[in-house]
Structure 1
Amino acid sequence: MRLCLQPSLEVSMLSSESQPLKTTQPWMMIVMVLAVFLCYLTISAPLAVIPIFVHDSLNINNFGVGVAVGIHFLATVLTRPYAGRLSDNVSSKRATLQGILALLVTAVFYYLATVLSFGTTVSFILLLVGRICHGYAESLLISGHIAWGLSLFGQQQAGRLLSLTGMAIFGALAVGAPIGLTLFNHFGFSSLVILLLLMPVLAFALYFPIHAVKVHKGAPLALKQVMAYVWKYGLILALQGVGFACIGTFIVLYFKAQGWLYSEFALASFGVAFVLVRIFAGHSTDHYSGYWIAGISLLVELLGLSVIFIAPNAQLAIVGTFLTGMGCSLVYPALGVELIKQAPVQVRGTAMSVYSAFQDISYAVCAPLFGLIALQFNYATTFMLAACCVAFGWILNWRMARHV
């Protein structure tokens, strides 16, 4: 199937290649989603802690905080093409399990950087290496997981797969942030390292019994061709991701600067809202226009970021993060389903990797860039700029929807 699909083919691709495999069992999707949840606990738990560790323990400024957070996503972006090719051309199961092994390597570098005393510079470098490993692991894990799941369950359940996977990821964020801060405050970073070692082992045990799938044969497409096909969806996704990038990087420091308590609940409320929307509205991506769903979601995210910007107290700021989580919840699967409808089956892993990479680029760029802005102005300004980015994303989505 060529890249330049005709409109009639874009609407429906219910070929035999897009149907569930006969050997697929219903329990497999639940097990895979649970495994993703465990893996993403290793990402979400340190997310709330690393800005505090870098800023307070290593005495590095906001730009350094942004680099420490953003380099994870930069590594994810740079390894997406490799992860997609590995998933499409070799084995999506191998890519997933290889990502889990990389999580274990990450834990070793975090231990060296945070538990052992090597001095500020060496500790920061070791932490950055660990963050790079973490990004590489995430790239392999999610690319392999999605390509594996699409082959197992077929296009008809693509929306459900993406929604449940996102629910697992941000569900991990909801519980990971308070868990990470609690462990760090009471037992230090070493307790997080134990978590980072235990969760991947459990995830590996869940993934391993599920059978691998055959690689789809087809004419390979150059990354440039895939990029030309995906970029419009990806750009909207990147603009949507600015909101989460700001919350994930600066909400804890923002609460601390304002003298507010309960910063862990700000991150948790984002994750809870994200999961609730996925639970009650996740199925909508299989039944309604992805552009329509994305448009409403972006407006809700815009409202949430605006509330954080003007919030006079912690309670209203937490409401803002809750609204932002609601808005972020369905953008990825809504536009992802529209993309999958058109993607040639032999490059779905690569297409979804490139699509996901736009969100990673957003995280990688915004964390250090907004760190510089916070140095010059304040944390509230970063949330105002994030709201502007989301507004631009809504405009692009509206223009795309008009031409469908």
Structure 2
Amino acid sequence: MTMNIPTELQERSAARNLLPLVAIVFSGFLSIGIPLPALPLHVNGTLGYNAAVVGWIIGIQSFATIFTRKFAGSYCDRHGPKQSVSLGLPLASCAGLLYLASTRIADPLSSIAVLTLGRLLMGPAESLFLTGTMTWGIGRVGVAKTGKVMAWQGIAMFAALGLGGPLGIAIQQRFGFAGVAWTTIVLPLVGFAVARTLTALAVTRGHALGLSFTGALALIWRFGLALALAAMPFAILTSFLVLLYGSYGWQGAGYAILGFSAGYIGVRLFFAHLPDKIGGARVGAVSVAIELCGQLLLWLAHDPMAALAGSVLTGIGFSLVFPSMGVQAMARVPAHSRGIAVACFMAFIDVASGLTGPVVGVVIGWYGYPAAFLAGALACVASLAVMWSGSRSDSGSATVAQG
């Protein structure tokens, strides 16, 4: 019994160190999630623009995030994660100010131009505060608990995005888009207040010591590519599951999406320690295999219950892919370059999110909605192949070293 006390104390200490950062991620991502359902209503209903413009306004933040990952990672390594978070969250509030300013402009073209600037500003804001909190969390609890850091912060991200949907619609209906803008202004400042109370990590000075973005990419690309391929089924499910249900005339698409979320969060709550405990390679491979089963079930589904089961399995499988690949990726980079490595790693998800919709949309145009989930299954197979080739490469390197 006494042997377990140090471990229990370590777990409690890790939880205490991570909870403030989880709160920061949650408040920051609420400011991203709440506007998402409100933007189409505002851009189409109030400003009168068509669906193409709506898609552009929503998607432009993702592209801004991709192109600022490198800057955010370098900034985090040079100035420390606390400074990165302390810059990113006020930038998110400034994006909210631009949202608010756009509601005060009568001319639709000028209004949407200011709104676009706000969406562009939210990209680097997200890059900075998310890279900062990930790096800060690893620094506060140790690289051995990288999986736990990524799992807990992932729960905060998805919980905020999930809660943001109904909240955004409710606020839009009650207060208009101006109310959404005010929420976007205030929420990041709550996270900022929490961040300022925390102790900063020591920063290793000296530019020459840090990895470049391409240097970090060379070390972690396999794990990032495996993650990107495994993230495609998630993007497919969130984009096309409702349309699959509609094509068959089924009811209950909302329950299927809820089932995905329940599987995702449930696994992270109870099994987040597994990548750190038994290794990211094993957990990642098993996770993607489960995700593959979920996608195949969705492809072959002939009734809503089968589709629901496929959604739940996809959520269960996808849940630990991010921390599993993250554990392996972060183990390959020096501590003083962890910020650029986190930014590089996160960019793979951005690319997957940006490319999946258009590519799979073409597939659906040719073969129908079920084919989207066959594409998701093939992405899982490709992810497993990348993991397998990486493990072969690692074992080969180890054999050479021993020889």
TM more than 0.5: yes
Deviation at 1:85, TM superposition (A): 0.8
- What CA distance in whole angstroms lies between the structure 2 residues aligned with 1:237 and 1:28? 26
CA contact (8 A) 1:38 1:199 kept: yes
Q: Check if 1:41 corresponds to 2:34.
A: no
- What CA distance in whole angstroms lies between the structure 2 residues aligned with 1:259 and 1:151? 50
- What CA distance in whole angstroms lies between the structure 2 residues aligned with 1:381 and 1:65? 26
- What CA distance in whole angstroms lies between the structure 1 residues aligned with 2:252 and 2:179? 21
Aligned to 1:136: 124
Aligned to 1:19: none
Alpha carbons of structure 1 residues 25 and 298: separation in structure 2 relative to 1, 3 Å: closer
User: Pick from 206, 215, 218: which aligns with 1:225?
Assistant: 215
- What CA distance in whole angstroms lies between the structure 2 residues aligned with 1:379 and 1:364? 19
- What CA distance in whole angstroms lies between the structure 2 residues aligned with 1:166 and 1:65? 27
- What CA distance in whole angstroms lies between the structure 2 residues aligned with 1:268 and 1:142? 25
Deviation at 1:202, TM superposition (A): 1.7
Deviation at 1:375, TM superposition (A): 6.1
Aligned to 2:152: 164
Q: Which has the higher helix share?
A: 2
User: Pick from 284, 290, 301: which aligns with 1:300?
Assistant: 290
CA contact (8 A) 2:77 2:210 kept: no
After the TM superposition, which residues 87-98 of structure 1 pair with which residues of structure 2 at under 5 Å, given as runs?
A: 87-98=76-87
SS at match of 2:34: helix
Gap runs ≥5 in structure 2: 1-12, 395-403
Alpha carbons of structure 1 residues 254 and 115: separation in structure 2 relative to 1, 3 Å: farther
CA RMSD of aligned residues (A): 3.1
Q: Check if 1:199 corresponds to 2:187.
A: yes
Q: Check if 1:101 corresponds to 2:90.
A: yes
Aligned to 2:3: none
Deviation at 1:399, TM superposition (A): 2.4
CA contact (8 A) 1:45 1:179 kept: yes
Deviation at 1:116, TM superposition (A): 5.8
SS at match of 2:331: helix
- What CA distance in whole angstroms lies between the structure 2 residues aligned with 1:266 and 1:47? 20
Deviation at 1:279, TM superposition (A): 0.8
Q: Check if 1:399 corresponds to 2:389.
A: yes
Aligned to 1:7: none
Deviation at 1:366, TM superposition (A): 2.4
Aligned to 1:15: none
Deviation at 1:287, TM superposition (A): 0.9
Deviation at 1:360, TM superposition (A): 0.8
- What CA distance in whole angstroms lies between the structure 2 residues aligned with 1:263 and 1:116? 38
310-319 or 335-344: bigger deviation: 310-319
- What CA distance in whole angstroms lies between the structure 2 residues aligned with 1:104 and 1:46? 13
Deviation at 1:42, TM superposition (A): 2.1
Q: Which has the higher contact order (CA 8 A, sep 6+)?
A: 1
179-188 or 166-175: bigger deviation: 179-188
- What CA distance in whole angstroms lies between the structure 2 residues aligned with 1:78 and 1:109? 20
Question: TM-score if structure 1 supplies the norm length?
Answer: 0.82
154-163 or 343-352: bigger deviation: 154-163
SS at match of 2:200: coil
Please say which structure displays the higher CA radius of gyration.
2
Deviation at 1:217, TM superposition (A): 4.2
Alpha carbons of structure 1 residues 272 and 185: separation in structure 2 relative to 1, 3 Å: farther
- 1:17-41 C-alpha deviation (Å, 9 max, x unpaired): xxxxxxx885231111122112112
SS at match of 1:287: helix
CA contact (8 A) 1:272 1:325 kept: yes
Identical aligned residues as a percent: 29
- What CA distance in whole angstroms lies between the structure 1 residues aligned with 2:380 and 2:236? 12
Question: TM-score if structure 2 supplies the norm length?
Answer: 0.82
The amino acid across from 2:165 in the alignment is: A
Alpha carbons of structure 1 residues 374 and 92: separation in structure 2 relative to 1, 3 Å: same
SS at match of 1:108: helix
- What CA distance in whole angstroms lies between the structure 2 residues aligned with 1:286 and 1:26? 15
SS at match of 1:342: coil
CA contact (8 A) 1:294 1:330 kept: yes
SS at match of 1:395: helix
Q: Check if 1:213 corresponds to 2:201.
A: yes
Aligned to 1:390: 380
Gap runs ≥5 in structure 1: 1-23
Aligned to 1:29: 18
The amino acid across from 2:69 in the alignment is: R
Deviation at 1:256, TM superposition (A): 6.2
CA contact (8 A) 2:29 2:157 kept: yes
The amino acid across from 1:199 in the alignment is: L
User: Pick from 73, 79, 84: which aligns with 2:62?
Assistant: 73
